[in-house]
Structure 1
Amino acid sequence: MKTCGLIECLNIIALVILCSRAAHGQLSSTFYEDSCPYIWPIVREAVAQAVEKEKRMGASLLRLHFHDCFVNGCDGSILVDDTPTFKGEKNAGPNANSVRGYEVIDIIKSRLEFACSGVVSCADIVAIAARDSVVELGGPTWPVQLGRRDSRTASLSSANTLLPSPFANLSTLISQFQAQGLSAKDMIALSGAHTIGQARCTIFRSRIYKESNIDTAFATSMQANCPSSGGDNNPSPLDVATPTFFDNNYYKNLRSLRGLLHSDQVLFNGGSADAQVATYSMDPYAFFSDFATAMVNMGNINPLTGTSGEVRKNCRKIN
């Protein structure tokens, strides 16, 4: 019996998700088929250029989608700039000096405005860019459901309270994801996004100096770039093995007690998530499949559709 190669299997995974999942609300993978048929290559080219210039940008664009969706739904609210009379989400604790990629979204938006003015929402751009970033770094693909509209506001307070903390324990993480309509399985799969990207010293300092469920050699190596005081913004890769390649090493790291964040290692610490982490560490196909499904689920968090919201002309400003 002939078996599929990795790319063939990933394409099959995407097809299965598309065929087995009804569009959420008014979202559809063919939403812009007539109104902006070149949306896919336009976004793909811009993402490829950004990732080629800086591999880390792939992780940043993926994280941008996550931080958008967890605050009042996938509505592009994270993109809105502060003004003298308005404070949005960009400078919330989990986002300030941390979330990146806004300039890439601006580039994509300008190209789409040239191709089909006033048609494609910023929220949809963020969703497609996240998928294309993962693919650029060797990860799975999935059918991005489209038709989201952009919020006319943003919420600093919600960004400060709804986004999961890197210091959270397992039960808190499960509860926060369930509050968004995502299962514990989704949470563990989505956490695998930390197979790419970086974290600042201030986020993981307490783990590498104070926690006991950590590989000693790993902790020592991380301390070289993250002193016990100072250097708060010094970055370190979340996966030291393959920091710019989307694979299942994140889960292998957890089993070796080499998770960089507290919220990473709690997924493999004698609790209910251990079995799923073990499976993903041994079976990259299972991880890729579940990650793709979880990304579709996350992209369906409370989208604005129909006549709700707007399609921004500039992703940084309300029309």
Structure 2
Amino acid sequence: MKSFFNLMHTISILLLLNGIACEAKLSTKFYDGRCRDAAAIIRKSIEKAVSRERRMAASLIRLHFHDCFVQGCDASILLDETDTIQSEKAAVPNANSVRGYNIIEAAKRDVERACPGVVSCADILTLAARDASVAVGGPWWNVRLGRRDSTTANRSQAETDLPSPFVHLNTLISAFAIKGLNARDMVALSGAHTIGQAQCFLFRDRIYSNGSDVDAGFATTRRRRCPRNGGDGNLAALDLATPDWLDNNFFNNLIERKGLLQSDQVLFSGSTAAIVSEYSKKPRVFAADFGRAMKKMGEIQILLGQNGIIRRRCSAIN
């Protein structure tokens, strides 16, 4: 009898460990048993936000990118400043620039009403980036779910690991490689700059440089919204031709020396020039690569299983 109870105890432990192991894996069906409508609820919320403001699609994709590049895709960027947390929102690359926090919080509230304490903010942010892409004509990709939320933020890492808009090609390649993303991933992800806007101070030096890598007519046009002095916060579309659609026109701009940011224009040089040319001619290839690269980026250094928490509000620790 004793051996029987010992056997049953062993089986119980093995089943428990197996359950934990299953929970510690990403899956497209992760919430099927506990919150089957999670993805649909989030999609509806994101579609509503983008329909109100098309620019929000770019902001949500960028928000996801800025989260994943700092201690992984763990929703750390969503945490507010507290006595114990130095918020990433205040980091130089994010302050007065990154937006969409309220959209993710609204989606979280919608999900919490249906399934309290089940869906992580990290998963919501990852799904939101995909849904934002689709809402502006971009590709759809499978999102594997099961991420958990961090209890920490890392402002110092945000100020070192997020690529600057002023850097050279090799620096960009290295910054992405550190995160496990290759040069092709980098160029594909940069294609998100076919939507959205940039502030004047981020491209002023480029349009006043009279450099050989900037089209003179393009520079003149951009100076109208970005004076040599003042107007630092004035906004300009990253892509003048199709600013509200996630398409491959960004790469045509680079070939014509009409990239707004220096870090974008350098992609049409060196080892990545051929990728830019390919994407400019083959929109379907770009769309497929963009989806793959976004999926790959969305699984950087994630928290699984017993690591992390499920936040009740995305901006605060429970």
State the 1:213 CA deviation.
0.8
Partner of 1:141: 140
1:151-162 alignment, distance < 5 Å = 151-162=150-161
Separation in structure 2 between the aligned mates of residue 43 and residue 85 of structure 1, nearest angstrom: 30
Query: 1:282 and 2:281 equivalent?
Result: yes
Which runs of no fewer than 5 residues in structure 2 stay unpaired? Answer: 1-21
Residue 41 of structure 1, CA deviation: 1.2
**In structure 2, how many angstroms separate the alpha carbons of the residues matched to 1:303 and 1:46?**
24
Determine the C-alpha separation between the residues in 2 that align with 1:43 and 1:154.
24
Q: Which residue of 2 aligns with 1:242?
A: 242
* Counterparts of 1:146 and 1:95, CA distance in 2: 26
> What's the C-alpha RMSD, in Å, of the aligned pairs?
1.1
Q: Secondary structure at the match of 1:315?
A: coil
**SS of residue in 2 equivalent to 1:272:** helix
Matching residue of 1:264: 264
Matches within 5 A, 1:86-165: 86-165=85-164
Shift of 1:40: 1.4
1:145 Cα deviation after fit? 1.1
The equivalent residue for 2:58 is 59
Partners in 1 of 2:28 and 2:83 — Cα distance? 38
DSSP 3-state at the match of 1:199? strand
- Residue aligning to 2:175: 176
Which amino acid in structure 2 is aligned with residue 121 of structure 1? S
Structure 2 CA distance for aligned equivalents of residues 86 and 191 of structure 1: 30
CA distance in 2, matches of 1:262, 1:88: 28
Tell me the CA shift for residue 85 of structure 1. 4.6
Measure how far apart 1:84 and its partner are. Answer: 4.3
Amino acid at match of 2:105: D
Deviations 1:219-275 (A, max 9, x none): 000000000110000010111100010100000000000000000000013x11111
Q: Which residue of 2 aligns with 1:202?
A: 201
CA displacement 1:106-135 (0-9 Å, x = unmatched) = 110001110000000000000000000000
- What TM-score comes out, normalization by structure 2 length? 0.91
- Identity value in percent: 56
**Which structure 1 residue ranges, 5 or more long, are not aligned?**
1-22
Please tell me whether residue 212 in structure 1 is matched to residue 212 in structure 2.
yes
* Match in the other structure for 1:33: 32
- The aligned residue for residue 229 of structure 1 is 229
Distance 2:139 2:62 in 1: 16
CA-CA distance at 1:212 after TM superposition: 2.9
CA distance in 1, matches of 2:268, 2:59: 25
Deviations 1:195-218 (A, max 9, x none): 100000011111111133100000
| Pairwise CA distance, 1:88 | 1.4
What is the deviation of 1:83? 2.1
Query: Secondary structure at the residue paired with 1:236?
Result: strand
**Which amino acid counterpart does residue 287 of structure 1 have in structure 2?**
F
State how far apart, in whole Å, the 2-side matches of 1:178 and 1:26 are: 24
How many residues matched? Answer: 295
Normalising by the residue count of structure 1, what TM-score does the alignment of the two structures yield?
0.91
What are the superposed Cα offsets for residues 68-92 of structure 1, whole Å, 9 maximum, x if unpaired?
0000100000000012453210010
